[in-house]
Amino acid sequence: MNIVARFEIPYYQYLNETSTVIDTLPEFAQDPQHLQRLYRLMVLIRVFDSKAIALQRTGKLGTYPSSRGQEAVFVGMGDALAKTDLFVPYYRDFGTLIQRGAKLSDFLMYWGGDERGNSYSDDKTDFPFSVPVGSQPLHAAGIASAFKIRKEKRAVLVTCGDGATSQGDFYEALNLAGIWQLPVVFVVSNNQWAISVPRSAQTGAKTIAQKAIAAGFSGEQVDGNDVIAVRERVASALKKARENNEPTLLEILSYRQSDHTTADDASRYEPKGVRETEWVKEPIGRLRRYLESIQAWSETDEQKLLAECGETVDQAVAEYQNCPPQPIESIFDYLYETLPDIYAEQREDVKKKEVPVHG
């Protein structure tokens, strides 16, 4: 018997749970100002997130999926992307999109039921959120194929959750990326839950990262509570994609510190105490403690930042609430270029209804 192939799945972490540096820091992370920038973004995301949940609880926003606990994933990805790359997000990714030209108010609009919130990117390059679970990796493979045919040095970054990796589309996308050698990076944001289904019930494989092996390219795990690791590994994978048309799968591990969405109640299925145990790993405190240890952050900085984030978020809420709603018949206008006759009557009928205001 001969062994014909062997595989390994690496795990990347630079800043551990106790905020200790355990590996040589990548160059960008040796610049405290760069780390402060990432820290500020993570805090902004958390402040916005709490506000969005409060708005939903008071009837001013529709269903909203929280980012709590996953801030480093969004910020690390956004910081690693080049302007010319293309991002194919899923519904939790607003924290990346605000680094790509989207406004916070766009997301209030979107989750408030106004589709104009979905038209966020400056030059309309990035895709809108994918709410269907697992369909977007295929779109990403298709776009990457176009970049390759056109010989453009651009990479596609696509995200999905751990639950999405059980969809056939996910495997098909990986297979295509491997066989065609496409410039695409697949990020699986593994927050350990797909609504009430735990990661342990999702796959018999030890890691999700190893699913890349069957497709013929490399997969790795990244500590998703360590923004330095996320930023470094996503940047490195994007570079390989741009320069060598080499795909990568990154399984980024974190923990969902919230209900699945505001329509969920995780206390009905999440074992007691796990969230608290996982909280010691959370990304914002981890980076703050490190910055404090190198004298690059203080309590005064923190208070100033929280006040700034509060103002920024309040401004976004005001923009959302003051934006005049669209005419109600617009739901027909976005769907068809030429409205089929059978809907003409319905369109007229709906015009008589009262238009709900934002918030």
Ligand X SMILES: Cc1ncc(C[n+]2csc(CCOP(=O)(O)OP(=O)(O)O)c2C)c(N)n1
- For ligand X, the binding residues (CB under 6 A) are 92, 131-133, 160-164, 189, 191, 193-195, 256, 260
325/109 Cα distance (integer angstroms): 10
Residue 159: CB minimum distance to ligand X, A: 9
Nearer CB in complex with Mg ion: 56/191: 191
Contacted entry of Mg ion, ligand X, none for residue 262, CB cut-off 5 to 8 Å set by kind: none
Number of Cβ within 10 Å of residue 288's Cβ equals 18
Phi-psi region of 220 (alpha: psi -120 to 50; beta: other; left: phi over 0): beta
Contacted entry of ligand X, Mg ion, none for residue 211, CB cut-off 5 to 8 Å set by kind: none
Pick the catalytic residue: 233, 242, 260, 288? 260
Nearer CB in complex with ligand X: 67/218: 67
Q: With both helix axes pointing from N to C terminus, report the angle between 227-244 and 283-293 in degrees, rounded to the nearest 10.
A: 100
Based on the residue annotation, tell me whether 260 is a catalytic residue of this protein.
yes
Based on the residue annotation, tell me whether 290 is a catalytic residue of this protein.
no
Nearer CB in complex with ligand X: 132/327: 132
Residue 194: CB minimum distance to ligand X, A: 3
Strand order in the sheet with 86-88: 11-12, 218-223, 248-253, 184-190, 156-161, 86-88
Nearer CB in complex with ligand X: 48/170: 170
Cβ-Cβ contacts under 8 Å for 274 (sequence gap 6 or more): 255
Task: Specify the stretch interacting with Mg ion by CB under 5 A; choose among 30-38, 46-54, 189-197, 224-232.
Answer: 189-197
Contacted entry of Mg ion, ligand X, none for residue 137, CB cut-off 5 to 8 Å set by kind: none
Cβ-Cβ contacts under 8 Å for 238 (sequence gap 6 or more): 80, 81, 82, 85, 155, 157, 185
Show the tokens assigned to 282. Answer: 């959370």
Pick the catalytic residue: 256, 286, 288, 358? 256
Residue 163: CB minimum distance to ligand X, A: 3
DSSP 253-311: E----S-SSTT--GGGTSPTTHHHHHHTT-HHHHHHHHHHHTT---HHHHHHHHHHHHH
Based on the residue annotation, tell me whether 256 is a catalytic residue of this protein.
yes
Contacted entry of ligand X, Mg ion, none for residue 74, CB cut-off 5 to 8 Å set by kind: none
Please give the residues from 150 up to 169 whose contact with Mg ion meets the rule CB under 5 A. Answer: 161-162
Provide the binding-site residues for Mg ion, judged by CB under 5 A: 161-162, 191, 194
- The residues carrying an active-site annotation are 256, 260, 269
